[in-house]
Amino acid sequence: MGNLSYLRYLHLNDNELYGNIPLSLINRDLEELNLDDNHLMANDLSLIAWLDKLNPTWATTQTPYSGPSLVLFSFTTYSVMENEGQATITVIRIGASDGAVSVDYATSDDTAKTGSDYIATSGTLNWADGDAADKTFTVEIIDDEILENDNLILSLNNATGAVLGSANTAVLTIRDNIGDKLECAEVTEIPPAECEVLVALYKSTGGANWKYQNG
């Protein structure tokens, strides 16, 4: 959502939307936003501040979701630095908490490939009767020598005792730790001092909004 640079007006009020508002919603060019009268939540303080400024009534008009039990990803996009070793993915249960619930999870390739970028994983998450706590699973990340950002797909299937929420698929982006791999002594296209500044800038931003080009 944050990449839709030409988006100026977004009205999603009264749509029975539920779940966490993603940080990617932030769009500095957005002029109007209306999320009133849904079942939404926000956890990030910078996101909350942005929402409060653009849509002051969003928080006070949300009501708890009271429909049947739903299971879904906490967000539709996740990211992890390649050298962190693993990504923790959260699945939430909202709505009615009576009855036991289970759901299967799995990973699949997109631009990230099993065995070279990450270790494929699958399994089942379980909630007991009355249990509404968040559940997590991890995806093991492989730190390779190739400079690239890759995506893999996360999916939820075969829910029992509950209904799959709309966020039943998500994308995990593996961001390359280029700052740990780049040796400025080997760079000939720019002066070493400039290279050091670029590497420091990359590290300070965690690699956000950087692209790699070979050749």
Kindly list the domain boundaries of the chain, sorted by start residue.
Answer: 9-54, 70-175, 178-210
Strand ranges of the sheet holding 135-140, from the earlier edge strand across to the other edge: 135-140, 86-94, 70-73, 163-164
Rounded CA gap, 68 and 161, in Å?
Answer: 9
More confident call, 194 vs 69: 69
Q: What is the DSSP string of 22-83?
A: PGGG--TT--EEE--SSEEE---HHHHHHHHHH-TTTTTT-----SS-EEEES-SEEEEEGG
DSSP annotation of 195 reads H
Q: What is the value of pTM for the model shown?
A: 0.69
Tally of CB atoms within 10 A around 31: 10
Total number of residues shown for the chain? 215
pLDDT of residue 214 exceeding 50, the answer is no
Rounded CA gap, 17 and 26, in Å?
Answer: 17
pLDDT of residue 49 exceeding 50, the answer is yes
Work out the pLDDT band at 46, boundaries 50, 70, 90. confident
Work out the pLDDT band at 56, boundaries 50, 70, 90. very high
Work out the pLDDT band at 33, boundaries 50, 70, 90. very high
> Looking at the domain covering 70-175, what would its CATH class be?
mainly beta
Rounded CA gap, 111 and 172, in Å?
Answer: 11
Rounded CA gap, 95 and 127, in Å?
Answer: 13
pLDDT in tens, 129-176: 999 999 999 999 998 777 678 999 999 999 999 999 888 999 999 987
